[in-house]
A and B are shown apart, each in its own frame.
Chain A
Amino acid sequence: MDKTWEVDEANTVKAHFGAFGKKIVAVNGAEVHNSRKMGPKGEIAFSLPDGRSAALSLRKQFIGAPGIDLKVDGNLVVETGKKPIKCAACDTVAKPYDRFCGKCGKPMPTAEDYENRKNVKAATGAIKVLAVVFVIAGIAFFFITKGAADTALVKLEGADPATTYPTPIGGQTYTVGALRKQLAWEPWGVLIVNLIIASIMVALALWGRRSPLPAVLIATATYAVVIAYAAIGDPATLGQGLLMKIIIIAFLIRGIKAALALRTAGA
């Protein structure tokens, strides 16, 4: 993993974090760190040629490689990306260390803003993943439920629709006719419910591009409700895919925080 930070016009920091733990840090081409170990506090501390203190630190992620942050005098530095940074107001190309656009004077996003945008993107990404999961689950459960319902309907064949079914189901007593109707509806209900939730998630993912905070808030609430709804039907579902549920909720909550930070910063 290679990263570059243009700290200012005179200083550039480059970091190479190898797959086997090798960590090389160079300032303006001169190596300042070459070791597998991190320094105390999990940081690689060094000084810039002008005497300012700098530190590289690893930021753990839920999924994938950790992020690397560079702080100079305690302030996060914007990473130099592959694409040039442009002013959102006038589209002028700016340097990563510019705090204001040189053409229109509008404030440029800070490193924290970029980090928050990344988290918001991850949260809207999680909403898209949920939409796909609900479509797949809807189709899969439709066929599973249909198979089970068809088997149950065969067993009820020939029974008088007006007679009461002897065993209560879910604490409720049904007539054979009502039970047949319920069984015929069951697979379609599962499919429709999943498709409704999937379409809500798609709508929220699209809305999230313009208004991330409300979209992620609603998605989080909807997902929590869906988990509760499924658990009421079958409490065992609460533990199914627990790690995945926790990761998705963590992404969404982090997205809410990031979207709120961007909103309050006016970025």
Chain B
Amino acid sequence: MRSGTQFCPGCGESLIPSAVAPEHRVASVSRTRFIEHWGELKRVGWLFGLLLATSFVFGIAWRSAHSPWLSVIASAVDAAIVLVAAGLRYRKLLFLFQLRPSGLRDSVVLIAIAFLFVALATAYFWVIEWLGVPMSSATAAYTRAGWPLWSMLLLISAMPAVFEELAFRGVIQSTLERVLNARDAWLIQAALFSVLHLSPLMFPSHFLMGLCFGYMRRRSRSIYPGMLLHACWNALVVLQELPA
């Protein structure tokens, strides 16, 4: 035995009675846990991949025809994908759909986050505009086709808010929390949310959005506050773009 040895290098057993017992007795590589976690990550990968595929096909189609009907189809396909993904994990996501009375402190924090988010996002887009970066309009195709305001609010504001929250703060964040710690899951869902918007210039602003909505979901243990803020922000963008 080598000098200074207090534990058996083969089995970890204490060799001298006074030695403090080691914290981890056995290096048990849990194969079952790995398979389970890998399965969870694959589920997130599938959902993200399908949403990316829809955006890709929609983006290609958008090049040849700027029709709002394309947005309708893309939104419907995305909604179906998200509903199936959420439906498969319905029991595990059930807690997110419950309305709980939140305390005064939590309410103040959620409202403060909402204001902070609106201020930061507005500042970001103001800087982008000030730099002269040409921005694509979300409502141009609808106004050109003569679609009414309510259709824009439904397709640009409400539907993305409901289904994106369900996908990212619902399925993805909850699934990742089972594999990683809450902080990592929060950061990853925000990153996935930002990159899936397929606009590198929007990565920072949408990452911020993902962080805010994710924090609201963590704080309130419900996706409704995030959905509400998301829908309000989208509605603000729509109303700001429309001519007076």
Contact = CB atoms under 8 A, between A and B. Distances in A.
A and B assemble together: yes
Interface of A: 92, 94-95, 97-108, 110, 112, 170-172, 178, 181-182, 185, 189, 192-193, 196-197, 200, 211, 213-214, 217-218, 221-222, 224-226, 228-229, 231-232, 235, 256-257, 260-261, 263-267
Given A105-B22, A193-B200, A224-B52, A170 B63 contact: yes
A92, A171, A189, A221 interface centre (most CB from chain B within 10 Å): A221
Given A193-B201, A218-B188, A256 B41 contact: yes
A107 B26 contact: yes
Contacts of B191: 218, 221-222
Contacts of A235: 60
Interface of B: 1-2, 4-12, 14, 19, 21-24, 26-27, 29-30, 33-34, 37-38, 41, 48-49, 52, 55-56, 59-60, 62-66, 132-134, 179-180, 184, 187-188, 191-192, 195-196, 198-201, 203-204
Nearest to A188: B133
21 contacts: A99-B10, A103-B4, A103-B6, A104-B6, A105-B12, A106-B22, A107-B24, A110-B29, A112-B29, A171-B62, A181-B132, A185-B133, A193-B201, A196-B201, A211-B184, A217-B188, A218-B192, A218-B195, A221-B191, A232-B63, A263-B37
Contact of A260 (B41, B49, B134): B41
Contacts of B41: 217, 256, 260
A260 B178 CA distance: 12
A228 B7 contact: no
Contacts of A232: 56, 59-60, 63, 198
Nearest to A196: B200
Q: Is the interface of A mostly helix, strand, loop or mixed?
A: helix
Contact of A104 (B22, B188, B199, B201): B22
Nearest to B21: A105
Contacts of A226: 200
Contact of A266 (B24, B66, B199, B200): B24
Nearest to A112: B29
Contact of B4 (A100, A102, A107, A222): A102
Given A95-B9, A106-B23, A197 B200 contact: yes
Given A171-B62, A264-B34, A104 B52 contact: no
B12 A100 contact: yes
Contacts of A170: 63
A200 B65 CA distance: 33
Contacts of A108: 9, 27
B64 A228 contact: no
The 9 lowest CB-CB distance pairs between A and B, nearest first, are A105-B22, A107-B27, A232-B59, A105-B7, A98-B9, A102-B5, A100-B12, A265-B29, A193-B200
A171 B140 CA distance: 13
Contact of B203 (A106, A196, A214, A264): A196
B210 to A, nearest CB: 11
Given A197-B200, A228-B56, A265 B27 contact: yes
A264 B198 contact: no
Contacts of A185: 132-134
A101 to B, nearest CB: 7
B52 A225 contact: yes
Contacts of A260: 34, 37-38, 41, 179
B129 to A, nearest CB: 12
Nearest to A217: B188
Nearest to B34: A264
Given A225-B198, A264-B29, A102 B7 contact: yes
Contacts of A97: 9
Nearest to A182: B134
Contact of B134 (A181, A196, A211): A181
Nearest to B203: A196
